[in-house]
Amino acid sequence: MSAEPLFPYQENQVAELVGMPLPARLFVAWSMGLGKTRLCIEVANRRRFTRILVIGPAIGRVIWPYEWSKWKGTGKLVFWSWNEIVRNPASYQEYVRRWRPDMIVLDEAHYAKERKAKRTQVVYGPAIDGGPASLIHGVPMVLALSGTPAPNFTSELWTHLNALAPATIWRSTTTTPLAEHQFRELYSHQRASNYGFRVVGSKNTDQLRERTKTFFRRLLKEQVLPDLPPLMVVEEPLDVDMSTIPADFRDPALAGVMSDDELVKWLNDRATHLAGARRLLGGAKVKAAIEWIEEFLASSDRKLVVFAHHLGVIDQLQQRLTGQAVNVTGGTPTRLRQAAVHLFQNDNGIRVFIGQTLAAGTGLTLTASHDVMVLEPDWTPANIAQAIQRTHRIGQKNAVLARMMYAPGTLDEVIAGVMARKTRDLQGLFAHKEDAA
């Protein structure tokens, strides 16, 4: 078994899962950094599982074998990325049918929130019902893991509930689960648009929480690690040359006519249209960001984690900070990602970690820093929360301050404010009333 003892909250959950009758389906919705990976390894060991399949982000190809060795996993571990399983679904389904894994772990399970997404259909089945065409069919134990089960709205939980725990959402008069549109109607605020009804918020969350309490295992950091320093998310302006700001971002008037949820939806609906302006905006902020970073480094001995969206922005930052920075993007080979993290964590000369938000926002531990700059806010709040939590994990000894950088007097300022508020709020999603106090 593991050389280091489990935390009490981990031991309690392991004991419950080991004693649970099979087949078992559970969603471990612990806050990021509480040790979900080790939990799975310990459960597999104690249940004497010999074949464990993990599906997760590409960085897991490095992280899972490392953790498996560290915590002395005893069975055979196979890892597939979410992206690779969609290339030839039939071959992966046939592999699972022949290999017959004892456990499937869905790491960062919110990747399977969209019913029509190919990866969702491969894992949960074309009908999203856990039927014979799904990877999970007949597997004794399936554990879904995510600190942000519903990145935006509770309606995104339907795929998981329908496939893994359909009894939690049975219709009142039958033993069949609610259809997706019925689930949305019951648990989401919707508004008519030119493209049909769209979700703009959540409702009846107390009822949904009660119905799903046997399926979700939710733990917040403040519940189990009271000594872990606090996390603060604030907005901070950059001294940007306003003449360089794209026209689409100069008018902040949307702040007066849209709620936070509506603005998130509006941004994502127009992601393609705004892509060019967003890239220009990122470039316009680089000069001011570099000045801010250099002043930060000169005035303290602390390290800094920077998250950005565009490769051009990351390249400019890396070039200016050569010798002091490492970076991880979507194009960084998995073996080099952990090397970059190791340097940042252990080399005093490496002061800055620059990460592409989605590529570096999961699976990494960056506790050498307790300062975070979000230079280009992602328009999905959960992606920001995931990224920031790379620093706010077990091993962090200081309060974490995450700064959402913005160009004052523009839509960028509005977006930064919305994302900061929603990032702070996300940790309370699914928390029981007594948890949120």
Nearest to 37 by CA among 146, 168, 169: 146
Residue % of the chain over a pLDDT of 90? 48
Instruction: Mark whether 197 and 250 lie in a shared domain.
Output: no
Q: Are 212 and 161 a contacting pair, CB within 8 Å?
A: yes
Same domain, 83 and 152: yes
Q: Is residue 226 part of a domain?
A: no
Cβ atoms of 147 and 108 within 8 Å: the answer is: no
- Do 109 and 179 have their domain in common? yes
Residue whose token pair is 């995510």: 146
**Does residue 237 sit in the same domain as residue 316?**
yes
Q: How far apart are CA 412 and CA 375, in angstroms?
A: 11
Asked whether residue 3 is assigned to any structural domain, the reply reads no
DSSP 354: E
Polymer length of the chain: 437
3-state SS string over 85-113?
A: HHCCHHHHHHHHHHHCCCEEEEECHHHHC
Q: Which of 193, 219, 245 is the last residue of a domain?
A: 219
Are residues 277 and 238 part of one domain? Answer: yes
Over 70: is that where the pLDDT of 86 sits?
A: yes
Query: What does the DSSP assignment read for 206-274?
Result: HHHHHHTTTTEEEE-HHHH-TTSPPEEEEEEE----GGGS-GGGT--GGGGT--HHHHHHHHHHTHHHH
d(CA 186, CA 231): 33
Q: Does 401 fall in a domain?
A: yes
* Phi and psi based region of residue 130 (left: phi greater than 0; alpha: psi -120 to 50; beta: remaining): left
Look at residue 432 in the predicted model and tell me its pLDDT: 34
389 lies in some domain = yes
161, 186, 219: which is the final residue of a domain?
219
Instruction: Report pLDDT for 219.
Output: 86
- Asked if residue 204 is part of any domain, the answer here is yes
> What is the Cα–Cα distance from 310 to 282, expressed in whole angstroms?
7
Q: Are residues 165 and 236 in the same domain?
A: no
| Same domain (yes/no): 176, 270 | no
Whole-number Å distance between alpha carbons of 236 and 402: 10
* Number of domains forming the structure of the chain: 2
Q: What is the CATH number of the domain that holds 420?
A: 3.40.50.300
Task: Give the residue from 190, 219, 248 where a domain finishes.
Answer: 219
Per-residue pLDDT at 378: 86
CATH number of residue 84's parent domain = 3.40.50.10810
Tell me the mean pLDDT in the region 247-263.
72
Find residue 402's DSSP bridge partners. Answer: 233, 372
Decide if 225 is inside a domain. Answer: no
Helix (H, G, I), strand (E, B) or coil at 29: strand
Q: How many CA atoms lie within 13 A of 324 on its CB side?
A: 18
Closest alpha carbon to 82 in 48, 50, 108, 101: 108
One domain, residues 15 and 114: yes
Give me 27's structure tokens.
């969603």
Q: What is the CA radius of gyration of the chain?
A: 22
CA 187 remoteness from chain centre: 22
Q: What tens digit of pLDDT does each residue of 337-391 get?
A: 889 999 999 999 999 999 999 888 888 899 999 999 999 988 888 889 889 989 9
Assess whether 205 and 317 both reside in one domain.
no
Q: What is the mean pLDDT of the chain?
A: 87
Beta partners for residue 392, in sequence order: none
The pLDDT assigned to 196 comes to: 66
Cis status, amide bond into 57, omega within 30 of 0: no
Residue 172 has phi, psi (to 5 degrees) of: -65, -25
Residues 191 and 252 occupy one common structural domain: no
Q: Which domain holds residue 112?
A: 8-219
Beta strands in 292-409 (DSSP E): 304-308, 325-328, 352-356, 371-374, 400-406
Please say whether the beta carbons of 151 and 143 come within 8 A.
no
pLDDT reported for residue 426: 64
- DSSP lists the bridge partners of residue 189 as 201
Let me know if residue 17 belongs to a domain: yes
Q: Could you tell me if residue 130 is inside a domain?
A: yes
Whether 174 and 314 map to the same domain: the answer is no
- Cα gap 117→115, rounded to integer Å: 6
Cis peptide before 23 (omega within 30 of 0): yes
pLDDT above 80 (res 312): yes
Residue 270 pLDDT level (bands cut at 50, 70, 90): confident
Under 8 Å between Cβ of 356 and 314:
yes
- pLDDT at site 194: 66
Q: What is the pLDDT of residues 189-245, one digit of tens each?
A: 877 766 667 777 788 888 988 999 999 998 877 777 676 678 888 888 888 888 888
243 and 215 within one domain: no
The model's pLDDT over 321-349, given as tens digits with 9 standing for 90+, comes to 999 999 999 999 888 988 999 999 999 99
What residues contact 262, with CB distance under 8 A and at least 6 apart? Answer: 191, 200
Task: Examine the pLDDT at 76 and tell me if it is beyond 90.
Answer: yes
Dist CA 304 CA 297 (whole Å): 8
| pLDDT at residue 191, rounded to an integer | 79
Q: Inform me whether the pLDDT recorded for 429 exceeds 50.
A: no
